[in-house]
Amino acid sequence: MVMNRKCILRLSRYKNALKRLKALGFVKVFSGNLADAAGVTSSQVRKDFSLFGITGNRRGGYKVDELVLRIREILGKNEIHKVVIIGIGNIGNALLRYKGFETGGIRIVAGFDIDPSRYQPERPVPILPLDEFRSYVESNEIKIGILAVPDVAAHHVSEIMIAAGIKGILNFAPIQLRGADDVVISNINLEVELENLIYFVNVADKSVPALVTEDD
């Protein structure tokens, strides 16, 4: 089965929307509801679902519970996924304390840094020396890591992560890291995102015609 990142991103958005609808007491949902929530067309929603063998009908819609269950299966969300963070600066520290993940079956289990002043081994979510990264990741079978170190260290640290067996990296360092054959890397560059907005706001001011923004 051929699948791409965008499709999986949409599934996650559908799931998040479904959790909210469920919280509001909805039992059934229609592709149009999810299209609104995910910012896509209804036909896109139905296309995505059919890709995973999820069926419903336009009149009856989909059962929220079944849909959540099925999407969680697809996204592998029926287990808790342990995630580590390297680089406990402003961003890393914020992610370490971020509560929003737990509900999604994602648990930040440890942070790592090279700065001894940041070590907090006794905390429930400990901050440990980078030297201990590999042994920790191996003994806890961690596959996902968040990289939040300065740009100059990012490439080197990503190699440490991959060498330790990390297969998925969410990179916040402002350089573009590329994955290997068996390693997926998502790059989140906040400066680039802001520059992107600034560009389009400026263009809008100057009202340059034919501005195309892709679905992201």
Site string for its own copies, 71-100 (x = CB under 8 A): ---xxxx---x-x------xx-xxx-xx-x
Question: By CB neighbour count within 10 A (0-12 exposed, 13-18 middle, 19+ buried), where does 168 fall?
Answer: middle
Helix (H, G, I), strand (E, B) or coil at 105: coil
Pairwise CA distance, residues 111 & 131, whole Å: 12
Out of 41, 135, 140, 202, point to the residue binding its own copies (CB under 8 A): 202
* Interacting residues with its own copies between 129 and 168 (CB under 8 A): 143-144, 146, 151, 167-168
Counting contacts by CB under 8 A, is residue 4 touching its own copies? yes
Q: Does residue 53 bind its own copies (CB under 8 A)?
A: no
3 state DSSP class of 169: strand
Binding window for its own copies (CB under 8 A); candidates: 3-11, 50-58, 111-119, 128-136: 3-11
160 vs 166, which CB is nearer to its own copies?
166
Nearer to its own copies, 95 or 160 (CB): 95
Query: Smallest distance, Å, CB 114 to its own copies?
Result: 18
Whether the Cβ atoms of residue 164 and residue 140 lie closer than 8 Å to each other? no
Hunting for tokens 């190699």 — which residue is that? 159
Which of 28, 69, 120, 189 binds its own copies (CB under 8 A)? It is 189
Q: Which residues 101-120 are close enough to bind its own copies by CB under 8 A?
A: 101, 104, 106
- The whole-angstrom separation of Cα 92 and Cα 109 is 13
Member of 27, 58, 123, 184 binding its own copies (CB under 8 A)? 184
Neighbours of 175 (CB within 10 A): 14
Complex with its own copies: residue 50 or 131, whichever CB lies closer: 50
Angstrom distance (rounded) from CA 136 to CA 138: 5
The least CB distance from residue 202 to its own copies, in Å, is 4
The three-class DSSP label of residue 121 is coil
Q: Among residues 57 and 75, whose Cβ is nearest to its own copies? A: 75
Query: What Cα–Cα distance (Å) separates residue 176 from each residue in 62, 146, 154, 158?
Result: 39, 14, 9, 11
The bridge status of strand 62-63 relative to strand 28-29 is antiparallel
Tell whether residue 57 is a contact of its own copies (CB under 8 A): no
Task: Give yes or no for residue 192 binding its own copies (CB under 8 A).
Answer: yes
Per CB under 8 A, the list member of 9, 121, 123, 131 interacting with its own copies is 9
